[in-house]
Amino acid sequence: MAYLYAVSRKNNITLNKKIMAKKKSTTWIIIAVIGIILIWGVRAYNGLVKQQETVSTAWSDVESTYQRRMDLIPQLVATVKGYAEHESNTFQNVIEARAKATQLTVDASNLTPEALEQYQKAQGELGSALGKLMMIQENYPNLKANENFLELQAQLEGTENRINVQRLKFNRAAKNYNTNTRKFPKTIIASMFGFDRKPYFKAQEGAQTAPKIEF
């Protein structure tokens, strides 16, 4: 009996050791899986943050190019006014459109479709008014030959080109960011931490299209 008891006890001890080893192994596997998930989550989060910052930088560049255009307007108005004083309605439209566009600012962290639409509309209206101002030159040969006007005209043309370039860069940055926020499983991280979709500049007819200025 003593022998059988000893054998039974030994078997129980061995069995318990195996169970404990299995539980320990399972625990380490669970810890390893959780660790892998956490590492992936951190990397996914940091990647989205980086792309979000890229979008913000692209937006800042867009604002800077639009601001450059607004900075040219007072000089343009003053130069044109020296040759076409009676074009008061055109001057007033440009001044009012510039004031409206200047007052409307958009925070990159709150770049909603509605906010971008309002911003784009205001800048489009300014571009339209500015285009009409530049057309006045056709009626004033002396204005067309003015060196200061020609220089401002060249700067404006370059600025319009830069605006189009920066808008395209912004759209590309927003597209890359939006694509990653929608991919599975990164969409889980995006939803958990509020990585909202970014809107795009849209090519539309009328005032919301980047102005075409003929030189």
3-state SS of 108-143 is: HHHCCHHHHHHHHHHHHHHHHHHHHHHHHHHHCHHH
Provide, for the chain, the percentages of residues in helix, strand and coil under a 3-state DSSP scheme, each rounded to the nearest 5.
80, 0, 20
The closest of 181, 159, 200, 158 to 58, measured between CA atoms, is: 200
**What's the whole-model pTM score?**
0.80
- Identify the CATH number of the domain in which residue 157 sits: 1.20.1440.20
Q: What is the pLDDT of residue 27?
A: 79
Cβ-contact 171, 201 below 8 angstroms: yes
Asked if residue 139 is part of any domain, the answer here is yes
- What is the domain count for the chain? 1
Asked if residue 165 is part of any domain, the answer here is yes
Asked if residue 203 is part of any domain, the answer here is no
Asked if residue 86 is part of any domain, the answer here is yes
- Write out the residue range of the structural domain in which residue 29 sits: 10-195
**Rg of the Cα trace of the chain?**
32
Hunting for tokens 């597209």 — which residue is that?
A: 175
Q: What is the pLDDT of residue 20?
A: 66
Asked if residue 204 is part of any domain, the answer here is no
Q: Cβ of 8: how many Cβ atoms within 10 Å?
A: 10
Q: What is the pLDDT of residue 29?
A: 81
Asked if residue 200 is part of any domain, the answer here is no
CA distance 164 to 171: 11
> What is the per-residue pLDDT across 117-165, written as a single tens digit (0 to 9) for each?
999 999 999 999 999 999 998 889 899 889 999 999 999 999 999 999 9
Asked if residue 212 is part of any domain, the answer here is no
The amino acid at residue 31 is I
Q: What is the pLDDT of residue 110?
A: 84
Q: What is the pLDDT of residue 144?
A: 87
User: Could you say which residues of the chain have pLDDT below 50?
Assistant: 3-5, 7, 205-215
Q: What is the pLDDT of residue 5?
A: 46
